[in-house]
Amino acid sequence: MHITRLVGSILLALLLFINACAESRKPAVAGTFYPGDSASLAKMVNGHLANVTAEADVDGQLIALIVPHAGLVYSGQIAANSYKLLEGSQITTAVLCGPSHRVGFEGISVYGPGIIWRTPFGDVPCDDAMCQKLIDFGTNISVIREAHEAEHCLEVQIPYLQSTLSDFRIVPVLMGYPDRGTIQLMADALTSLNINQQTVLIASTDWQHYRPASDGWKFDSVGVACIERLDPDALERHLTSGKTEACGGGTAVAVLKAAIAKGANKVKILKYGDSGDVTGDKSGVVGYLAAAVYKSSDAPNPPKPSTDEQGKKDSADKYELTEADRQLLLEIARTSIDCHLRREPMPEYDVSDILRKNGAAFVTLTKTGQLRGCIGYTMAFKPLYETVSECAVKAAVEDPRFPPVLAKELPQLHVEISVLTPLQKVQSLDEIKVGRDGLMITLGRQRGLLLPQVATDYGWTETQFLEQTCRKAGLPLDAYKSPEAVIERFQAVIFGE
């Protein structure tokens, strides 16, 4: 009995000694990004959590959260939709991952072990063992003190953790320059950790900045769709191309990759909004997203189909559109251009369920056999009939290769629509079949796409098709051979007037 008490006293003394020696990371943005006193902060945070009335249907093990990181008056209510899931949970470790806003550096910085993070609610220790494991994982993971001292993206998460968890530790991780290698390094390092039911990964990111809300959603919806499909590769690709924007996008990609490696097979989009929801000013907003990534026994990871199986699936997809669907889409495309040129509202259309599903498509306009405009979306982020309507107008008036179509030209235009199947990453060039596949090649920030019918029209070989897709991207003809190049193929249901 005396020995037990003695051991307990020694452990308590050791713990007190360690805490006394631990370095304290003082709040950097208390009083600016959130209230600096505990009473005001509690009123704000608890109010946000109390306002989350809809019960999220997360039927499985929570693995990761995606949260925003602006001033809490703007983004806190969105973030609360994620943190509400932690109430009553067994989480004891939160791995906080975010971008470095103020200090540029290569690699990843972990601000621990031996660091105590302080907020107006009190102190939060680091999970020292987990911090050290990350640091030991790779040579480009270290402690860069100056990157964390004034950084807000992790700090603003802690009051919500303190309000929903009773006893927990954190692992604070910042990503430097979000190049492909660093994103993969973070993904691999996070995957090396013991992510169990007591641990949650948290990706801190805001989305597009300062666009009008209607334009901002067009950018954000592309990224949100990638997250909802649990497709980090597509998210990374669209971040690189500029099709979507997120200041912590690289972090989100890495966390999604690690979550998938740990068994995640479902995503629940909890809430999307923007700063204009609070200010009332929608002329220039920042986008915010809350999402949960989890492992559900009701959604086992599907086996990846072989090339032959996928080819059969693609062929089957081509018969989903009835002749009536196709004729209606052609009518919508032409009417959309006409109404735009006349500055008249579009009529309402009664469309089938398949046309209401999100779909990717291109609209091609020709005049006397010559191309007059072609624009489309490679990702399905809005209903197919809306995609066709929007792309038809853009092809008519926004294709930079041609002057805008005039109203008098409309009777001379021929409309062709290509409805795309999902993009598939090419593992081997042998998978590409001229006449069946379209191609998209991405290298760095440059990207080029050619529809399947282009190769057929010009009688190209597979090599010529690859070279011309590189040319379309503004790349050297042999850029497709680069190990950094991403080659994707797709099929298309093609029909015209």
The pLDDT of residue 183 is 94
The pLDDT of residue 305 is 37
- Runs of H (alpha helix) within 51-108: 72-83
* CATH 1.10.357.140, domain 307-416, yes or no: no
Please tell me the distance from the alpha carbon of residue 466 to that of residue 481, in angstroms, as a whole number: 9
CB 235 within 8 A of CB 379: no
pLDDT digits (tens, 9 = 90+) for 353-410: 889 888 889 999 998 888 899 998 877 778 899 999 999 999 999 988 899 999 999 9
Please tell me the distance from the alpha carbon of residue 370 to that of residue 484, in angstroms, as a whole number: 35
pLDDT-based confidence at 459, cuts 50/70/90? confident
pLDDT > 70: percent of the chain: 91
The pLDDT of residue 34 is 97
pLDDT digits (tens, 9 = 90+) for 19-65: 445 689 999 999 999 999 999 999 999 999 999 977 777 889 999 99
Cα 83 versus chain centre, distance: 19
Report how far apart the first and last C-alpha atoms of the chain are (Å, whole number): 91
Q: Which CATH number fits domain 423-497: 3.30.1490.150, 3.20.20.390, 1.20.140.10, 3.90.226.10?
A: 3.30.1490.150
Mean predicted confidence (pLDDT) in 401-425 = 91
Cα 423 versus chain centre, distance: 16
Mean predicted confidence (pLDDT) in 153-176 = 97
CATH C-level class of 23-295: alpha beta
Domain range list for the chain: 23-295, 307-416, 423-497
Closest CA to 360 of 338, 344, 376: 376
Q: Is the pLDDT of residue 92 over 80?
A: yes
Question: Same fold for the domain at 23-295 and the one at 423-497?
Answer: no
pLDDT-based confidence at 456, cuts 50/70/90? confident
Q: Is the pLDDT of residue 492 over 60?
A: yes
CA angle 171, 173, 176 (to 5 degrees): 175
